[in-house]
Structure 1
């Protein structure tokens, strides 16, 4: 594991690399608006995917590196992502743009422009909780590259059945909330829920290479 800082027009960003011994893909994944790269799904993917030939780059946006508690406007998030993208590119290795929640929106909005090979959208915030009329489906549907959505079955930002038909695949994490936490009374445990994510993403990345 190695860490590097990158200067962008939005401030200093940070990338933590979890390299594969023989990489065929890079997954660049950023955090959401309310947390960092310590999120359980990002940690799980960084631990599992390198063994499948996928180097994982966990990206911290400049606002997070600066110690701020609130994320800036989407436009500023895009500026930070664009600025660090060149540091993610390795010769001959396609890069999957990924992220959770707000990070997933950034990946979708910029994928075609930056030349991403695919998009991994973890906990895509289809709408604000309780406001399904304020849909962000156009961002997801406009990604323009192969896209995988991984969504908790009880995500208040959009349950799997609320997602429109479109050119993407969707994996449901049963009983999972926006952070993929599952209730203690659920028939599957937290480790099993994370395995749904890592197994599903590993299988999807294998289909890309």
Structure 2
């Protein structure tokens, strides 16, 4: 493989990475849960979603309805809610538009906890959805979700006590594009051959 082919392979990798798109955090519902992650039948709900009658929260000080682009790595969020509400139903999107899912949509990812450690929900735990006192739906118990070409998981949690705000942390990792490893290996092999021929 000559230098031109190596450059072409690396360029293709870069274009594939750029084409993978973006993921946004589009909706957050914060509420009370019990052991195992199930919510009470109709708890007080707080959300950052426009068009609901829930009590509002803001995320990272941004107006209600704001969506947040995620970056690869750790993404930290602080809510305006200062309480022990310990469950979070999270919704994601692949565009920056305001939250637009139907009432009562199943969340993409759910977490809960009592300290700074996010806990896995029991499979089938009933969780809150978007809307005013929305009905509970069973959750799979998954601790991560694939959105687009990324895997998202909750890796940190802070439940507000003594006047502190609730916080959560989302970690996003890239799913390798098919064939990316083989292309990198070919580029490395070509570079090694070039060094030997010098």
What TM-score results when the alignment is normalised by the length of structure 2? 0.26
Highest RCO, 1 vs 2 (Cα 8 Å, sep ≥ 6): 2
More strand by share: 2
